[in-house]
């Protein structure tokens, strides 16, 4: 830990994991320093040849490059890809692996990022000039699947998907995979998102709790009283009136969990969510942003606002501005997601080693337990042209990333070769034709592995190399007396995926008690959404802010609900229910 280079390396790799493994797919990393990549490439080529030879010996069909099948591919790039030597998108560690191991030569006829990709995709669809394989946004995927333009990959998936790939994709019980089916036939593989990690936690300055002789709140009344104490009782003991009660940022209507300073955890205390579609007891899916619990939540926020517990500037503060306040010791209580120990909280303890933070389950304003909302966001679907004669190629390609990166058999070498090179920051995983972290299980799995290693039930050698990286830092932090001032990275990992970390609360409180509620709509925008949603979102956000700040009465919420329904919300609700029934009809 005294080695600064080692620390920097861990930090880089770890931060990427925080954003990717638990926040979104497509990036991963490995520990080590194969700068330049040539030695890694050589090792990989040799390894791949051995793999191919093994496969042949085992009577499998890895055919080598001589009789490779050639397939065209349309792929959305991140736009941040960097290459080693003469490599490019058509010739890199992944394309060589597909060729050598699978006998599949990919030709990226379209490979672009951002709007450029969208334009090329639109052109390709309009001119009916689709490549063999493609990755598609939800809307285009849905259109093409319904139009009969995509291959039915049901049999390919059943036959060729590895156990690990199936385990990864179906970890949610097959819900996200069901969204890729039409009439029971599978037309694509969704790139999954980390729904578990999108829930809110309550983040509290525990040194302030101690200073004031208080405990963490267990219900909404206690939370409000704590906010009052943090505002008015000089929790930092500096004799100045310089702290807020509870930190909020400006984006209220978002399913992307604006964090820190999210409102979703507060709303959830009233059984409401700003952006969720929730299935009711009547079997209907309803928009929770218009339910009566929300009216009560907003009325309560208005009282807190009037009592001075909320920064009157919150309506113009984004997450960055709120993070600055947290870092500067102005805020000791807020709602935020699992990644908080990486950002503002860590920055705060680096500024003030006396500061400390702990996450707690959100609290309820009613007799029902508070249930945090989670959101699924499928960024794209991988699909095959209906005219392609090798639909199984997509599934075989999808297996590769799982084997090299996410398998328990992954090694430092495969992580280095197919993930991030921490020395250069080059993320080889960005080239993968199909990259998907097992986002749903990854942090769950790592938390449990790290816990088992800390408790001596397993050894560090037996756990996943990526989990081992966290374990070593956490173990060192504990062994050295948990000195956060000397080891803020140790504190960071400990509070993230260690014994008192965010994942401890998510797994041992939220998940163990079946508290997580999932927003059930994650399909392509419905027709009425395309027409009306942006104006409805604006109406909703303005109404909420106005009620909180007192420029509109809480009772005006009822009028907002009526307007929301008549301005397209009612039609959207019908369409969401139709999508839900069609998508999950045979799962019920
Ligand atoms: Ca003070």
Rounded to the nearest angstrom, the distance between the alpha carbon of 246 and the centre of ligand 1 is: 14
Ligand 1 centroid to Cα of residue 501, in Å, is 28
Q: How far is the CA of 415 from the centre of ligand 1 (A)?
A: 47
In this predicted structure, the answer to whether residue 23 has a pLDDT above a threshold of 90 is: no
- Interhelix angle 344-351/488-497, rounded to 10 degrees, is 140
CA of 484 to the centre of ligand 1 (A): 23
Got the DSSP string for 368-436?
A: SPP--EE------EEEEBTT-S-THHHHHHHHHHIIIIISTT--HHHHHHHSEETTTTEEGGGG-SS--
Do 25-194+380-440 and 200-371+525-583 fold alike per CATH? Answer: yes
CA-CA distance, 66 to 196, in Å (whole number)? 44
Q: Is the pLDDT of residue 140 over 60?
A: yes
- How far CA 87 is from CA of 37, 112, 340, in Å, comes to 10, 16, 37
Cα separation, 278 vs 173, in Å, equals: 18
**What pLDDT sits at residue 5?**
31
**In the chain, what are the domain boundaries?**
25-194+380-440, 200-371+525-583, 441-511
**Confidence band for 257, pLDDT divided at 50, 70 and 90:** low
CA of 330 relative to ligand 1 center, distance in Å: 8
| 137 C-alpha to ligand 1 centroid (Å) | 49
Distance, CA of 229 to CA of 482 (rounded, Å): 28
- CATH number of the structural domain 200-371+525-583: 3.40.190.10
Cα 544 to averaged position of ligand 1 atoms, centre (Å):
30
How many Å lie between the centroid of ligand 1 and the Cα of residue 170?
Answer: 50
Give the span between the Cα atoms of 307 and 517, in whole angstroms. 31
Give yes or no for residue 226 having a pLDDT over 90: yes
Measured in whole angstroms, how far is the alpha carbon of residue 153 from the centre of its chain?
Answer: 26
Measure 320 CA to ligand 1 centroid, in angstroms.
Answer: 22
Whether residue 527 has pLDDT greater than 50: yes
Q: What is the whole-number distance in angstroms between the Cα of residue 335 and the centre of ligand 1?
A: 21
Q: How far is the CA of 536 from the centre of ligand 1 (A)?
A: 41
For residue 349, report the distance from its CA to the centre of ligand 1, in Å: 17
| pLDDT in the model for residue 480 | 97
Burial class (CB in 10 A: 0-12, 13-18, 19+), 495: buried
Residue 308 Cα to ligand 1 midpoint, Å, equals 15
DSSP letter for each residue of 78-128: -S-----TT-BTTBSHHHHHIIIII-EEEEEEEEEEHHHHHHHHHHHHHTT
- Distance from Cα 262 to the centre of ligand 1, integer Å: 24
For residue 343, report the distance from its CA to the centre of ligand 1, in Å: 23
pLDDT at 438: 55
Q: What is the pLDDT of residue 422?
A: 62
* Residue pLDDT, tens place only, 63-76: 444 689 999 999 99
SS3 letters for 503-563?
A: HHHHHHHHHCCCCCEECCCCCCCCHHHHHHHHHHHHHHHHHHHHHHHCCCCCCHHHHHHHH
Ligand 1 mean position, distance from CA 236 (Å): 5
Structure tokens at 56: 């042949």
User: Phi and psi (nearest 5°) for 500?
Assistant: -115, 30
Of 31, 36, 38, nearest to 13 by C-alpha is 31
- Distance, in Å, from the CA atom of 489 to the CA atom of 457, rounded to the nearest integer, reads 25
Is 25-194+380-440 CATH 3.40.190.10? yes
Cα-to-centroid distance, 547 and ligand 1 (Å): 29
Candidate from 19-23, 104-108, 182-186, 399-403 with smallest mean pLDDT: 19-23
CA dihedral 516, 520, 525, 531 (to 10 degrees): -90
The answer to whether 224 and 302 are in contact (CB under 8 A) is: no
For residue 413, name the pLDDT band (cuts at 50, 70, 90): confident
């Amino acid at each position: 830990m005294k080695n600064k280079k080692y620390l920097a390396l861990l930090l880089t790799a770890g931060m990427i994991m925080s954003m990717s493994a638990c926040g979104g797919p497509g990036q991963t990393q490995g520990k080590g320093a194969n700068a330049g990549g040539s030695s890694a490439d050589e090792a990989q080529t040799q390894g791949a040849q051995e793999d191919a030879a093994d496969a042949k010996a085992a009577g499998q069909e890895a055919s080598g490059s001589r009789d490779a099948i050639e397939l065209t591919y349309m792929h959305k790039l991140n736009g941040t890809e960097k290459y080693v030597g003469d490599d490019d998108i058509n010739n890199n560690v992944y394309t060589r692996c597909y060729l050598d191991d699978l006998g599949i030569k990919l030709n990226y006829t379209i490979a672009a990022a951002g709007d450029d990709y969208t334009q090329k995709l639109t052109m390709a669809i309009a001119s009916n000039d689709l490549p063999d394989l493609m990755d598609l946004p939800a809307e285009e995927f849905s259109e093409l699947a319904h139009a009969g333009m995509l291959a039915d990959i049901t049999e390919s998936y059943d036959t060729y998907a590895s156990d690990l790939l199936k385990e990864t994709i179906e970890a949610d019980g097959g819900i996200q995979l069901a969204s890729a089916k039409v009439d029971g036939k599978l037309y694509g593989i969704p790139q999954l998102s980390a729904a578990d990690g999108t829930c809110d936690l309550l983040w509290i300055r525990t040194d302030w709790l101690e200073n004031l002789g208080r405990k963490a709140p267990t219900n909404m009344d206690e939370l409000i009283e704590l906010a009052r104490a943090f505002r008015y009782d000089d929790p930092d003991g500096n004799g100045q009136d310089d702290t807020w009660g509870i930190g909020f940022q400006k984006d209220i209507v978002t399913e992307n969990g604006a964090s820190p300073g999210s409102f979703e955890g507060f709303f959830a205390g009233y059984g409401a969510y700003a952006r969720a579609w929730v299935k009711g007891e009547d079997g209907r899916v309803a928009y929770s942003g218009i339910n009566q619990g929300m009216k009560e939540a907003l009325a309560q926020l208005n009282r807190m606002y009037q009592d001075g517990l909320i920064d009157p500037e919150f309506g113009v503060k984004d997450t960055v501005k709120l993070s600055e306040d947290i870092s500067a010791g102005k805020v000791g209580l807020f709602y935020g997601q699992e990644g908080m120990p990486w950002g503002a909280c860590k920055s705060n303890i680096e500024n003030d080693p006396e500061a400390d933070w702990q996450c707690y389950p959100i609290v309820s304003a009613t007799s029902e337990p508070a249930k945090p909302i989670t959101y699924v966001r499928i960024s794209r679907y991988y699909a095959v042209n209906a005219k392609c004669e090798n639909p199984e190629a997509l599934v075989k390609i999808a297996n590769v990333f799982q084997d090299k990166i996410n398998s328990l058999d992954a090694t430092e070498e495969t992580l280095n070769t197919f993930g991030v090179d921490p020395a250069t920051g080059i993320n080889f995983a960005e080239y993968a034709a199909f990259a998907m972290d097992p986002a749903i299980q990854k942090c769950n799995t790592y938390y449990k592995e790290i816990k088992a290693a800390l408790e001596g039930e397993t050894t560090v050698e037996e756990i996943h190399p990526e989990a081992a990286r966290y374990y070593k830092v956490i173990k060192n932090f504990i062994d050295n007396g948990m000195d956060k001032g000397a080891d803020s990275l140790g504190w960071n990992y400990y509070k993230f995926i260690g014994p008192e970390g965010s994942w401890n609360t998510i797994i041992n409180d939220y998940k163990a008690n079946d508290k997580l509620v999932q927003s059930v709509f994650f399909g392509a925008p419905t027709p009425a959404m395309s027409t009306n949603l942006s104006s409805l979102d604006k109406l909703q956000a303005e109404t909420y802010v106005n009620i909180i700040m007192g420029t509109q009465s809480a009772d005006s919420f009822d009028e907002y609900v009526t307007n929301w329904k008549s301005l397209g919300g009612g039609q959207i609700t019908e369409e969401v229910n139709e999508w839900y029934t069609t998508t999950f009809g045979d799962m019920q």
